[in-house]
Amino acid sequence: MPILKEGQLDIISHSAEQTQRLGSRLGGLLTPGDIICLSGDMGAGKTMFSVGIGKGWGSKTPLTSPTFNLVHDHTRSTDSQHLYHLDCYRLEKPSDADSIGIDEVLSGRAAVILEWPENIVSILPKQRLWIEIRVVENTRRNFAFLAEGKRYEDLIAKFREFTFGV
């Protein structure tokens, strides 16, 4: 019996900086088509984690909260790939996502980070990495990773190795 359960990972972050560093490790592993869902209350740390993902992925522009534009399209110089960063908070029903060009976002040509993914969950691919962020206290956050599909089980395994060496 493996000690660590495949396809799941729980981590406590003790600071905003640590959350960014964790995000950065994940960002370095993303490939086009990856769907990263960041769920959690306001102020949980979804954007903070996304900032780290952007750094690790190599974005030319720093990731910021997509509260006003709802979709931010980032690129990197190494291979001109795209990384979409969405805030679905204001989408009241999944069909609202049409107005933000969701078909292109989910075309599989780019990696995608979604904040408030629960608002459009019915139109998201079933295969995805779901990360639930919970405020434990003050600066402590619990990150619960759940892989939906083989690609994401592999991604969690790589992330675990890259981050903890096991």
Which residues form the interface with ligand ATP (CB under 6 A)?
13, 15-16, 19, 40, 42-48, 65, 115, 139, 141
Toward ligand ATP, which CB reaches closer, 7 or 54? 54
Residue 104 CB, nearest distance to ligand ATP (Å)? 23
Residue 37 CB, nearest distance to ligand ATP (Å)? 13
Residues that bind Mg ion (CB under 5 A): 46-47, 65, 115
Q: What single DSSP character describes residue 5?
A: P
> Residue 122 has which token pair?
């019915």
Distance CA 14, CA 99 (A): 37
Residue 46 CB, nearest distance to ligand ATP (Å)? 3
Yes or no: say if 128 and 37 are a contact pair by the CB < 8 Å rule: yes
Toward ligand ATP, which CB reaches closer, 46 or 74? 46
Residue 96 CB, nearest distance to ligand ATP (Å)? 17
Toward ligand ATP, which CB reaches closer, 8 or 15? 15
Residue located via tokens 């795209």? 82
Toward ligand ATP, which CB reaches closer, 16 or 157? 16
Cα angle 105, 106, 112 (rounded to 5 degrees) comes to 70
Residue 63 CB neighbour total at 10 angstroms: 23
Distance CA 16, CA 51 (A): 10
